[in-house]
Structure 1
Amino acid sequence: MDCSMTSSILSANYNTILFEFGVILVTSKMMYAVLRKLYQPRIFSDLLLGIVLAQFRVLSLTNAINLVFGKIGAFVFAPYLFALGVEMDPSSLLLPSADSAVAYAGVFSTAVVVTLFHTPIMRSASGIVQEQSLRGFLGLAAALANTASPVLTRLATDLKIAKTAVGRLAVGAGLASDMLTTLLISLGSMVWRDAGTEDDSSSLLARPALMAAVLAVAGLSGLVSRAMAEWVESRNPSGRRMRGFDLSLVALVAATLCWFSSALRLDVNMAAFMVGLAFPSEGRVSRLLVSKINLVLTSFVLPLYVAHVCLSLRQTTDDVEAAGLTRDQGFRVYVMDLPFPWWKVIFVTAMGTLGKLVGCAAAGLLLCGLGFLEALALGLLLNVKGYFHVYCALAAFEAGIITDKSFMAIIFMVALNVAATPMVGMAIASWARRSVQWRLMGLQHHDPATELRLVVGLHGPQDVPTLALLMEALRWGGGNGELAVYAVDMVQLTDQTAAAIFKGGGFDGVTVVDEEVAETRKLIGEALDAQVAAAANNKVRVRRVLALSSFQDMHSDICICAEDAMAALVLLPFHKRQRPDGAMDAGAGHFGFRLVNQKVLQLAPCSVGILVDRGRVVGGEQQQGVGVVVVFIGGADDREALTLASFMSKHNSVRLTALRVVQNATAQARSRARTSLFESSSTKSSRNTQASSSSSTSALAQEEAQMQVDDKFFAEFYRKHVAGGGGSNKGMGYMEKHVGDGAELVAELRALQGDYGLFIVGRGRDRRSVLTEGLDEWAECLELGPVGDILASSDFSSTASVLIVQQYDAKKHYKVIDEEFMPL
C-alpha cells in the first residue's frame, strides 16, 4: 500500500514537472516568434520569459526547475560550449588579420577600462565583485570583453549585414574575440580550480602538471577526432544521409574525451570547450554534429536553463535584514521585493560598452579604414552578449565571487544589451541600403577602391573553367585585386530532388541526398577549388550557394543573392551547350535555363552577363595569352561591356583589343534619311496632337545625347587604356571598322573569329544604330540582342566564346521618365 502511494506521488510530480516544462518551452517559442519580427534573437525571449517568471514568483516552477537543474545544472552548458569550440579555428588567433586585430584591441581596451574602475568594482560593501581576489577581477574583465559570436552571427544574417564591410568584420572579429576570452576563462578555471578551499595551497604545486595534462588531452582529442571524422565521412559519402549510428558514435567519443578532461578536476564545461577547439571545424561530420546539438539546445535546454537562472534571483538574509524586511520560515524574498540596483546595471553596461567601443572603434578607424560612424557601429556590435554571459554570471554567483545584486545586474545588462544590439544592426543595414540606392550597381560605376563582388551561376562543372578565367581577369578591376564570388549551383527542383532534401546540413542549411545532384555539386566544388588554387593568391574568396528551385522561380534566388551581396555583376551560362561537332544545341543543355536567364536579365538588381562558352578560351593558347575583342557600337550596354574589358585588360594572360564600329558614308546617309523621315512624320502628326510632337522631339534629343555620351566615354577609354597602356606594361589593341549595314557588320566580325577566343558585346537594348537594323528579324534568342544572337549562333563560329553584357537600368528601377530626376 505504501509503495503504491509513493509511486503515485512520484508519478504525479513527474507529470507536473513535464507539464510545467512544456509550458515554458511553448511560451518561449511563441514569444520568440513574435519578437523575431523585431529582429530580436532567441536569448532575449528566453530572458524576458525568465524575468517575468521571477517577477510573479512562480514557486511551483521554481521547485520543479531547481529539482532538475540542481542535479544536472553543472553539465547542461557543456554541449553548448563544445559546439561553440567546434565552430572555431584556434589557428586564426595566430594569423595576422583585421579580424584578430580588432578582437585583440577590444579585449585589451576592455581590460584597461575595468582596471581603471578597479576601486568601485572591488569595493567590499557595494562593489560588483564580492570576493577580493585576482580571479574575480580577471573573470569580470574577460566576461565583459567576450562577444557572443552565435548571437552576432544570427543577427548579421537576419539583418542582411553579413556581406557589408562592417558586418563581415564584426562577424570575424566577434568569433575571434569569443574564442580568445572563452579560452582565457577556461585556463583561469584550471589555475583557480581550488580557490577558497582548504587544499588551495597544496594544489599550487599540482597546477603546472594539471595544465600539461589538459593540454595533452586536448592534443589527443585533436588526433582522435580528426581520425574519427575521416573514418565516418568515408562510411557516409557526400550525397547520402548520414547514418545515425555513426553520428552518435562521434558524439560518444566527444563525451568520452570531455570526461577525461573533467577527471583531471577541470570544470566539465570548460573541458568541453577545450575538446571542441581540438575538433576539426570543417567537414560534414562537424557541421552535422553542431547542427544537431544546437537544435536540441535552442529547442529544449537553453530556454529551461535561462528560466532556472532567472528564478535563482532572490536575496540573501543579510540583504533582507538591511532592507528592514522580515523573513519568516519557509518564505523566500525575491530580488523584485528589494530596491532595484539600477546603478550596478548602468555601471556594468557602461564599462563593457566603453571598453569595446574604444578598442574596436580605434582598430576599425586606424587598421581597417572604416568611417567614424562605421567604427562606432563595429564596437557596438562586438559588445553583444549571450548565453555564455548568463552561465558565467550564475557560476560566479554560486562560487561566491559576486553578490546576488551584481548577479541580477549582469542578467539585466545582458537582456538590455541584446535588446539594443539589433537597432545597431538595423542602422548598418539602413546605411548599406542607402549607399546602394545612391549608386548604380554595375561595373561602370564601381568604386575601384572597394572589393568587386560577382554572382556566378553554374549548371555543372563544365561551366567552371571559362567562368573562373573571367573571375580571375575581372578581379583586377577594383579593391586592390580583391574579389568576392558567390558561386550559385543552379539545381532544378523536381519531385525526385524534393524527396531527397534533408534539413540541417550543407552550405545552405539543407543537404540534397540525391546522388546525381550531390555528385554534380562535388565536381563543381572540386573544379572551383582547383581554379582558385591555380590562381595562387588569397584575394579571391568563393562562397558556395545552392539555388534549388523550379525554373519558374530560380531567377528569384539569383536576384536575391545579388541584392544581398550588393554584387556589381551576375554571370550566367548560356542555356545551350556545344556539341562535339561544334554546333550549339539546346538539347545538350536544358531549355529551362533560358527562362531563368530571361527573367534575370529583366529583374536583376545589377549588371548581367550571359556567357556562350565554346571552350577555346581556356584552351592551349592560354599560356600565350587569351585573345579577347570587345565590340563597341554604342549604347549603355556597350559602355558596360567596354568597362568590363577594361577590368580584364589588367590581367597578364589577356590580350585585349577594342573594336569600334562606326558608320561609313552609306550608313550616315541612311541615318540622316531616317532622321528626316522621322521629323517629317512628327510634323504631320503634330497637326493632330501636340503630345506626339513632343515625344518625337524627345526621342531625337535622347538619341543625340546618347551619341554624345558614347563619344565622350570611348574617348576617355582610349586615352586611359589604349594610348596610355592602362597602367600596365602591355598596351591594348585598337581597331576601327567602317560598315554600312548589318550584313557588313557580321562579315567583319566573322573575319575575326579565328584570331580571338572571346567576343564581348553589349546586349544593345537602347541602341538605335542603323548598323543593327534588321538583325533581330531572324534572331533565335532575342534576349541576347541582335549582335549577341548572331555571335551565339552555330553559323558564326565553333571556337570563339561570347559574353553578352547588359548594364543595370537604373531608370527602370527608380521609375523615372527623365535622367534629370535621377537621384544620383
Structure 2
Amino acid sequence: MTNIAPASIPILACYNTTLDISNKIWSSDDVLATRVPLLCIQIAYNIIISSILHHIFKPFHLPRLVAQILGGVILSSSLMGKIPIVLNSLYRAEGILGVENFGNVGIMYHVFLGGLEMNCDAIIRSSKKAVITAIACILIPMLVGAGFLALEHRISGGTSLTIEGYLFWCAILSVTGFPVLARLLSGIKILYTRLGKDALAAAMLIDAYGWILFTLLIPYSNKGGRPLLSAISTLLFIVFCFCLLRPILNRVIKRRIRSDTWDNSKMLDVIIGLFVCSYITDMLGTHHVIGAFVYGLILPSGKFSDMMMETLDDFVSGVIAPVYFSGFGFRLDLKSLWNQSSFGVFPFIMMVLLATPKILSSVMVTCFFGMSARDGLGLGLLLNTKGVMAILLLSVAWDKNLLDPYAFTVMMVAVLVMTVMVSPLINVIYKPRLQFMQTQLRTVQTLRIDAELRVVACVHNANQATGMIHILEALNATRISPLHVSVLHLVKLTRHGTGLLVAQVEGGFSESICMKESESIAKAFEEFTEEYNAVRFETSSIVSSYETIHEDIYHVTEEQRGSLILLPFHKQINSEGVLEVTDTAFSDINLNVLQHPPCSAGIFVNRGLGSLMTTRMSIVVVFIGGADDREALSIAWRMAGHSGTKLHAIRLIVLGSGEAAEQEELHYDSNGMLSTVMDRVVQKELDEECIFHFRHKGVNNNDSIVYSEKEVKIQTGEEIPLILSEVDELGCDLYIFGRGSGENYPVVKNMLEWCDNPELGIMGDIVASTSFGTNSSLLVVQQYTTGTRPKPQRRPKKCNSKKNGSVDIL
C-alpha cells in the first residue's frame, strides 16, 4: 500500500500485482518493463507542464513553485483526473510509489541547494528590528492559528483536534519561504529598498526558525518511539556538523580551490556526503531533508557554492523538484471546498483570514519602530510568501494523517493564494515611484543652498570608484550643504541562484557578489569621508540582470530621495591615455537609466581627473540653452564654491541660419506649431533667468568664476567641432555639458543619429571621441523632467569629430 490518505483517492490507494515467488532478488513485477517507462512519462509531464506554466506566469513575477504545484493540480481528481484515460496514462496507482521516491530525492537536492545559498553570518548579525519582526510574525500566527483550526474542524466536521495537528497547522501559518521571497523581491524590483531589506532579513530568521521547529516536530509526529531521544540526538548531530565537520570541510575545499586542484570529480565526494547526512537524520527519527539542509549550511560559500549551483541548480529546479511539488497539487480534493454547507464561501473567508495574522504582526512592529502603516501592510504581505518549508510541513501532516483532506486542501490552496497574490498586491499598495513623482522635482538646480545634496553613485569596479570620488569631492560639501552619497556596486546576475539570496541583508557583503571588489570600493569611500567631515556615505551591492538593473537603481534613488545619479562611462583610460571599451553592456545600462530616471542624472567620462587635495581644478561649462544646460550650470556653480576650483562658463549664442532653420521647421509642422513655439519661448525665458541669477549671484560674488558669451553660426553642423576646438584651447580639467545641449536646433539634433555615444549627447560625444584630442575629463548631465524620454538608438554609423573641424562619416 502506498503512503496516501485513503479519504482523498481511495480507489487508487491499493492495487494488485503478480509476484514471481521463484525470483529471490526481485520479489515484484517487472520493474524495467512497467515501472520505468511510466516514471519517465510522469517526469516528462511534470517538466513540460511546469515549464509552460512558469513562462506564462513569469511576467507576473510568480515563483516557479506555483507553476510546479499547479502542474499537479491539473491532474487532480477535480480536473483532468476525472478522465480515466488521462489518469491511467500518467498516474496509474502502481506508479505512484516510484514517482514519490523520485520526488523525495529531488526535494533532498533542492533543500541542499537552499542550505548552500543561505548565509549563517547574516543570521547571527541580524538587526534588532529584524529579530522583533520575526518573533512577532511567529508567535501571533501560532496563537491565532488555534482559533482558525477549531473553526475549520467545526465547519468540516473533521476528527477531534490533536496537539500535533495544531502545531503543524500553526507552523505552516508562521513560516516564510526565504528563497522564494528573495526571487520575488528581485522580480518586482524592491529587493534593495528599505521594505525589501526588512522583509528579507525577517524572512531569513523565520526560515531558520522553521527548520528548528521542523526538526523538533517530526519525532513527535511519529507513532510510538522515543521522540525526545530522537530530537536530542538530531540536535547533537547538527552541533557535530557545525563544530567539527564544518571547519574540516571548509579547510580542505578552500585549499583545493586556491591551488586549482578542484575538478568536477570531487563534486561526487560532496554528493556522497549529502546522502550520508540525509541517511543519518532519517535514521535518527527526524527527516532526511534536515540532514541535506544542514550539510548545505556547513559547506563554504563563495566560489565553491557558485560552482555547485551552476552544476546542479538547473537540473534540480527544472527536472527533479517539479516531480515532488506536483504531487501536492495531485492530492488536492477541490470538490470538498464547495461541498460544505457554506457553498464555498467559508473556504474563501478562511484563506483570507489565514493571511491576516502576519499582516497584523507586521503593522504592530512597524508602528513600534515609527514606520508607516503602508510599510507594515507591505511587509506583512511579503512575509506571507510560502516556500519549501510550508510544503514539507504539509507533506508530513498528510503522511501522518494529522490534517483531514478538507483541512489539507484549505491550507494548500491558501498557501498558493497567499504566494500568488503578493506580487499584484504589493504593486497596488506599495508604489514608491508614484509617491516620489508627486513630490518636488529632484534636481540640483531646484535644491536650496542650505539643503543636503543626495547623490547615488554607481560603479562597476574599484577603478571607477576612484574617479567617482574626485567628482564627488568637487561638489563642495560643507556644513551648511552636506553631501550624502549612496554608493551602488553594480554586479551582473548570471543566474537566479546565489546572487539573490546573499543580497545585502542588513548591509552585509558576500563572497559570491565580488566581496573583495565591494570591500575595495567601501574602503576608498571611507578614506574620502575621513578627509571631509561634511560627507557621509553608505555602500550596497545591486545584483541583477543588466537588462533590468536600472529599475533597481531607480528604486534605490527613490528610497534615498536622491537629487543626482552619477554613472560611469563604459570606456576607461588605459596606460597610453586612450579611452578603451571595458564592457559595452555598461553603455546599455546608462541608456536605460537616462530614459526616465527619478531625478537628474550624469555620466562621468574619466580621463585621469585629479583630487582637489593635491591640485587645483579648472572647469569649463558650455551653455547653449535648455533644461539640461541649466542643470549643468547649476552643478558647475556648486563646484565653483570650492577653494581649489576655477570655473569658466561660456554661453554660445546661435545666430543666422540656425534660427532660420528652426523657424522653417516650425512653419512646416503646422499642427503642433503653436505648442512648440510656446514651449521654446518658455525655455528661453528660463534660460535668461538662469543666466541672470548666475551672473549677479555667482560671478559678482566669486573671483574664481569667469563668464563669457560667444556668438556662433550653426548651418551644417560642421561648425560644432570648430567651436569646441576653440573652447578647448583655453585648457581645463573637466568639461560639463548638458546632454540635450543644442538639440533645440534642427541642424544639431539631426547629428544625434550619427553619434557613436548617444548617451553623451552631441557635444559630449564629440569631446569624448579619441580624434578630438583633448585630455580633459567630461561630465554630461541630464535634468529630471516628468514623463519618459525616448531612448536613443545606437547607429552603426559613427561620428568621429576631429579637432581641425572635419567630420569623418564611417
* TM-score normalised by L of structure 2: 0.70
Corresponding residue of 2:538: 539
1:389-788 equivalence runs, <5 A: 389-427=390-428, 432=433, 435=436, 452-456=455-459, 462-470=463-471, 481=484, 483-487=486-490, 528=521, 531=524, 534=527, 539-543=538-542, 568-573=564-569, 575=571, 577=573, 580=576, 585=578, 603=595, 605=597, 607-618=600-611, 622=613, 631=621, 635-641=626-632, 644=635, 657=645, 659=647, 661=649, 699=680, 702-711=683-692, 735-741=704-710, 753=732, 760=736, 762-763=738-739, 765-766=741-742, 783=760
Cα 1:24–1:301, aligned 2, differ >3 Å: closer, same or farther?
same
User: Is the CA contact 1:156–1:162 (under 8 Å) kept in the aligned structure 2?
Assistant: yes
Q: Which deviates more, 636-645 or 146-155?
A: 636-645
Larger CA deviation: 265-274 vs 351-360: 265-274
Assess, with a 3 A threshold, how the Cα gap between structure 1 residues 419 and 604 changes in structure 2: closer, same or farther.
Answer: closer
Q: CA deviation at 1:544?
A: 5.5
Whether the aligned pair in 1 keeps the contact of 2:159 and 2:404 (CA below 8 Å) is yes
Secondary structure, aligned partner of 1:765: coil
Q: What is aligned with 1:250?
A: 270
| Rounded Cα–Cα distance in structure 2 between residues aligned with 1:222 and 1:475 | 50
Shift in alpha-carbon separation, 1:220–1:53, aligned structure 2, 3 A: same
**CA, structure 1 residues 487+262, in 2 after alignment: closer, same or farther (shift >3 Å)?**
same
Match of 2:173 in 1: 144
Instruction: Determine the structure 2 residue equivalent to 1:727.
Output: none
Tell me the amino acid that sits aligned with residue 804 of structure 1. V
Count matched residues.
Answer: 708
Partner residue, 1:25: 47
3-state DSSP of counterpart to 2:355: helix
Cα offset, 1:656, TM superposition: 6.2
Corresponding residue for 1:324? none
Asked if 2 retains the 8 angstrom alpha-carbon contact of 1:360 and 1:379, the reply is yes
Quick check: 1:193 aligned with 2:223?
no
What is the match of residue 119 of structure 2? 89
Alpha carbons of 1:538 and 1:450: their partners in 2 closer, same or farther (altered >3 Å)?
A: closer
Q: 1:296 to 1:589 in 2, by over 3 A?
A: closer
The structural deviation recorded for 1:16 is 2.9
- Is contact 1:601-1:806 (8 Å) kept? no
Q: Distance in 2 between matches of 1:539 and 1:104?
A: 28
1:383-427 CA distances to partner (integer Å, 9 max, x unpaired)? 122333222112023224323322222112222223322322442
Q: What do residues 239-264 of structure 1 show as CA deviations (whole Å, max 9, x unaligned)?
A: xxx84223333333344344444454
Runs (5+) with no aligned partner, structure 1: 316-333, 490-500, 510-520, 548-555, 724-732, 816-824
> What residue identity is the alignment partner of 2:356?
L
Report if the CA contact (8 A) 1:682-1:692 is conserved.
Answer: no
Task: Work out which of the residue numbers 336, 355, 358 in structure 1 matches 2:357.
Answer: 355
For residues 696 and 118 of structure 1, what CA distance do their matches in structure 2 show?
Answer: 70
Query: Which residue does 1:813 correspond to in 2?
Result: 789
Q: What is the CA distance between 1:575 and its match in structure 2?
A: 4.3
The CA distance in 2 between the partners of 1:704 and 1:214, in whole Å, is 73
The verdict on how the C-alpha distance between 1:734 and 1:759 changes in structure 2, with shifts beyond 3 A counting, is farther
Matched residue SS, 2:781: strand
Q: Among 125, 131, 137, which residue is 1:106 paired with? A: 137
TM-aligned CA distance change 1:741 to 1:129, over 3 Å: farther
Q: What SS class does the counterpart of residue 233 from structure 1 fall into?
A: helix
Partner residue of 1:226?
250
1:273 equivalent to 2:296? Answer no
Q: Please report how far the alpha carbon of residue 102 of structure 1 lies from its aligned counterpart in structure 2 after TM superposition.
A: 3.2
The answer on whether the counterparts of 2:477 and 2:483 sit within 8 Å (CA) in structure 1 is yes
Q: 1:420 to 1:607 in 2, by over 3 A?
A: same
Contact 1:456–1:487, Cα closer than 8 Å, also in 2: yes
Identity %: 17
SS state at 1:193 partner: helix
- For 1:607 and 1:393, the matched residues in 2 are separated by 51
Change beyond 3 A, Cα 1:699–1:30: closer
Distance 1:367 1:340, change over 3 A: same
2:339 equivalent to 1:303: no
- Secondary structure of the residue that 1:485 maps to in structure 2? strand
Deviations, residues 699-749 of structure 1 (Å, cap 9, x unaligned): 455313322145458989x79xx99xxxxxxxxx76332435389999999
Q: Which amino acid aligns with 1:396?
A: A
Aligned to 2:235: 211
* 1:50 counterpart (72, 82, 94): 72
Question: Is 1:177–2:168 an aligned residue pair?
Answer: no
Does the residue aligned with 1:54 lie in a helix, a strand or coil? Answer: coil
* Aligned CA distance change for structure 1 residues 29 and 463 (closer, same or farther; 3 Å): closer
Measured in 2, the distance between the counterparts of 1:132 and 1:475 equals 69
Return 109-118 or 138-147, whichever deviates more: 109-118
Read off the aligned partner of 2:365 and give its amino acid letter.
Answer: A
After superposition, the Cα gap between the structure-2 partners of 1:648 and 1:51, relative to the gap in structure 1 and judged at 3 Å, is farther
Q: 1:344 to 1:596 in 2, by over 3 A?
A: closer
- 3-state SS in 1 of match to 2:568: strand
**Would the alpha carbon gap of residues 530 and 546 (structure 1) be closer, same or farther in structure 2, given more than 3 Å must change?**
farther
Contact 1:625 1:655 in 2 (8 A): no
In the TM superposition, what is the alpha-carbon distance from 1:225 to its structure 2 partner?
3.7
Letter in 2 for 1:352: L
Aligned-partner Cα distance in 2 for 1:736–1:381: 53
**2:799 counterpart residue number:** none
Seen in structure 2, the aligned counterparts of structure 1 residues 443 and 292 have a Cα distance that, compared at 3 Å, is: farther
Tell me, in whole angstroms, the C-alpha distance in 2 between the residues paired with 1:367 and 1:715. Answer: 47
Q: 1:31 to 1:752 in 2, by over 3 A?
A: closer
Distance 1:413 1:579, change over 3 A: closer
Q: CA deviation at 1:358?
A: 0.9
Question: Following TM superposition, by how much is the alpha carbon of 1:539 offset from its aligned partner in structure 2, in angstroms?
Answer: 1.8
Amino acid at match of 1:741: K
SS in structure 2 of the partner of residue 110 of structure 1: helix
Distance 1:475 1:422 in 2: 42
Residue from 792, 803, 821 that aligns with 2:779: 803
Q: Secondary structure at the match of 1:29?
A: helix
Amino acid at match of 1:77: I
SS of the residue aligned with 2:189? coil
- In the TM superposition, residue 268 of structure 1 has moved relative to its aligned partner by 1.8
1:160 to 182, 189, 193: 189
Is contact 2:570–2:582 with CA below 8 Å preserved after alignment?
no
Q: Distance in 1 between matches of 2:710 and 2:284?
A: 86
Q: 1:302 is aligned with what amino acid? A: A
Shift of 1:26: 2.2
Change (3 A) 1:527 1:401: same
Distance 2:45 2:346 in 1: 32
CA contact (8 A) 1:628 1:655 kept: no
Give per-residue Cα distances to partners, 1:468-491, cap 9 Å, x unaligned: 5546888989999461514368xx
Q: Is the 8 A contact 2:165 2:402 kept in 1?
A: yes
Contact 2:442–2:600 (Cα < 8 Å) also in 1: yes
